[in-house]
A and B are shown apart, each in its own frame.
Chain A
Amino acid sequence: MPDQTHAIVHLDLDAFFAAVEALENPDLADKPVLIGGRPEARGVVATASYAARAFGVHSAMPMARALTLCPQAVVLPIRHHLYREYSRRVMAICHETSPLVEQVSIDEAYIDLTDQVTTWEQAISVAEQLQGRIKAEIGLSASLGVATNKLVAKVASDRDKPGGLTVVLPGEEAAFLAPLSVRALWGVGPVTAEKLAEMGVTTVGDLAQLPQQELQDRFGRHGASMARMAQGIDERNVVTEHEPKSFSQELTFSQDITDFNALRQQLWQLSQGVGRRLKRKGLAAETVAVKLRYSDFTTLSRQMRLSMPTDDEQEIYQAALVLLRRAWQRGRAVRLLGVTGRGLSPPVGQLSLWEDRSQASR
């Protein structure tokens, strides 16, 4: 992209959980579907399909209330595993589009196209192709916003849901944001919005009219950043990867486990998972922790610092096993088990006396 302008896409999957359920079970397409906790368990709506939204249902609404608005809705439990798998496929397509992908949540990502394109026409066409591929290859609908920064791209993706593609050309950012409520800006919550309203400011346009100094005096550094955002300026970069602080694997059992050997097997599976992820990232963990949740939801965790950081699943397992033995009350029903490796650093390359260090204690 010429003259340092960025081209950023914000991608948001439409009614993601409900859309995945409809792909898994085509009978659900176009029906009002609510994903979330059971009403009798005081569940809330995680996602409502568009057909359900027509009845005034929205996410975070108590399920019981949603069902009074839309009694014919199909209620389904959350299937995180399934959604993660679909999310992974969507993100893989994003990564094929550009190496600079910042996944913000399971159904949302920023993609920096700056180095991929030289004109806005190209940027728009790449975004359209991306949207088309997600629809054609996975079957999911996504709303996209294309702009010169993350703030404007995100607001744009929300403009024309579902399935829209909104472009805000360079120089049009402030005008695009002007009619929106100040709440649309990143970091403006209800309290700030109320204070602004007292100053006669309700839209981003109002905000842009205020002298920056006044905002800065009233809200400090946050005021200065609000003033810049109101002008459509946002200098945050697309962050491709956060340096991980730990790797965890945990599992809630479909049936509580009371048998030590069964727990041990699960622990081995989880330890392998942690070891694999460490190896893939070229890291080693200095501390191993085990998390245990009993059937009454009492949760405890125990950790151990190793004398040498490791990425070896056998070593992780050995440490986890010692911790499990220490923590677990024999015979008490376990609902969830987790293994974490933390204190991450590149492996130091210390060779072991035994080919497989854990064989020492077999």
Chain B
Amino acid sequence: MKISCLQENLAKGLSIVGRAVASRSTLPVLSNVMLETDNGRLKLSTTNLELGINCWVGAKVEAEGATTVPARLLTDFINSLPPEQIDMELAVRTQTLNARCARFEANIKGIDAQEFPIIPTTDDAERAIRLEPEDLRQMIDQVVFAAATDESRPILTGVLARFDGDELTMAAADGFRLSVRSASLGQPVEEAIEVIIPARALGELARISPDQEDWVEVFITPARNQILFHMRDVDLVSQLIEGKFPDYRQIIPSSHTTRTVLDTSGFLKAARVSHLFARDAANIVRVEVAPGDELMPGRLTLAATSAELGDNVGQLDAIVEGDPIEIAFNAKYLIDVLSVMDTAQVAMETSSASSPGVLRPVGDDDFVHVIMPMHISR
């Protein structure tokens, strides 16, 4: 293998594939990045067996070939180089990659590319589901944080994605909160498909996809065990999580007794302030909603008390329909969801101190978030 490419392009490609490098693996080759010539370009690949990324970088190929070298070392070395041309050549017998750029030169010892797991790619554009990159990024941002981070119930570490007709719905729940977001597809799917995608894979996808101008094309393997997101120059492949996602629809309350409409950024700011005190006290923030009258607007009060630090109270004007209510939430959960609301106003629907609270962006029916309250003793 003998190739030349630009430092900036290679550095960028390595930063994209770097996220799928296995951090602690019993297979040494998984901490490597594979370099492979592919139709006049350089293909970079990494995988931790759950997530795999292929990225193509423009290059001048003088001799075809492939090898794998430690991803961390190569990335750090390339990032240290000046933005000039890099010439790389592989000594096949010793699997040593020689890289030269300006007045730097390195020989990096690698492992034979034969030992690297194959990451699927696809040319099957026929069966692709097309997604708008910006829509996709927003959907992911609005659901992925609600997925479970502990692995005690593996299903909940994933995001349910349902492709049905011309609609895609994503849902995630960690047992205490639920996020559901839908968007319309570029073109309808022939049959409805439901898969559970690891939240981590979607997080990486959201990181990569905004750079894209074209559609993101989605392929699901016939065995329904892998999903591939095809973008210009990048393929991201993830294992799917097996099992049945719990029925989340029954969790979304169909009615409420109080609807409180608030300024989104004001609510977020107040939640952040109360969290300063709440984080020392199991994150509990007490929310009190009082309807207005002819003279006074309605209002929402957030209060947090820490036995050691002290307490704080914040107040917001609100349009309140229905009964007054007192309810307690995890301040962090409020911050998480309010941070991803992109409408000016948000509506909070509540029924009682022990039934789920619902947050919806005002004027956007595609997103709904449910938070279970915290039980407080008075």
Contacts and interface: CB of A to CB of B under 8 A. Distances in A.
Contacts of A351: 176, 354, 372-375
Given A304-B150, A322-B154, A361-B243, A353 B356 contact: yes
Given A322-B154, A360-B155, A348 B282 contact: yes
Contact of B153 (A288, A305, A353, A360): A360
Contact of A352 (B154, B282, B372): B372
B175 A357 contact: yes
A308 interface: yes
A51 B174 CA distance: 63
Interface in A293-343: 304-308, 315, 318-319, 322
A216 interface: no
A322 B246 contact: no
B284 to A, nearest CB: 7
Contacts of A304: 150-152
B327 to A, nearest CB: 11
Interface string B18-32: 000000000000000
A349 B375 CA distance: 5
B347 to A, nearest CB: 20
Q: Bin the interface of chain A by size.
A: 20 to 34
A249 interface: no
B262 to A, nearest CB: 22
Main secondary structure of the interface of B (DSSP, over half): loop
A361 B376 contact: no
B154 to A, nearest CB: 7
A360 B241 CA distance: 14
Contacts of B176: 308, 350-353
Nearest to B156: A360
Contacts of B354: 351
Contact of A353 (B150, B178, B376): B178
B178 A318 contact: no
A83 B330 CA distance: 46
A359 B148 contact: no
Interface string B347-373: 000000010100000000000001011
A130 B372 CA distance: 52
B251 A353 contact: yes
A356 B251 CA distance: 13
Interface residues of B, number: 31
B246 A360 contact: yes
Contact of A361 (B150, B153, B330, B372): B153
A351 B355 CA distance: 9
Nearest to B370: A353
Contacts of B153: 318, 357-358, 360-361
B80 interface: no
Contact of B149 (A307, A350, A357, A359): A307
Nearest to B177: A353
Contacts of B376: 349
Contacts of A359: 246
Contact of B152 (A322, A349, A350, A354): A322
B289 interface: no
Nearest to B373: A351
B234 interface: no
A194 to B, nearest CB: 49
B173 interface: yes
A361 B374 contact: no
A348 B173 contact: no
A319 B156 CA distance: 13
A359 to B, nearest CB: 7
A322 B151 contact: yes
Interface in B43-95: none
A5 B154 CA distance: 60
B150 A307 contact: yes
A354 B175 contact: yes
Given A354-B175, A360-B175, A349 B150 contact: no
A45 to B, nearest CB: 45
Contacts of B177: 353
Nearest to B376: A349
Contacts of B152: 288, 304, 306, 315, 318-319, 322
A316 to B, nearest CB: 9
Interface string B175-189: 111100000000000
A351 B370 CA distance: 12
Given A353-B251, A361-B153, 15 more contacts: A288-B152, A307-B148, A307-B150, A308-B175, A318-B152, A319-B152, A322-B151, A322-B152, A348-B282, A348-B283, A349-B377, A354-B246, A360-B153, A361-B155, A361-B243
Interface of B: 148-156, 173-178, 243, 246, 251, 282-284, 330, 354, 356, 370, 372-377
17 contacts: A288-B152, A304-B151, A307-B174, A308-B176, A319-B150, A319-B152, A348-B374, A349-B284, A350-B372, A351-B372, A352-B176, A353-B173, A353-B175, A360-B175, A360-B246, A361-B156, A361-B243
Pick the 3 closest A-B CB pairs, nearest first: A319-B152, A349-B375, A348-B282
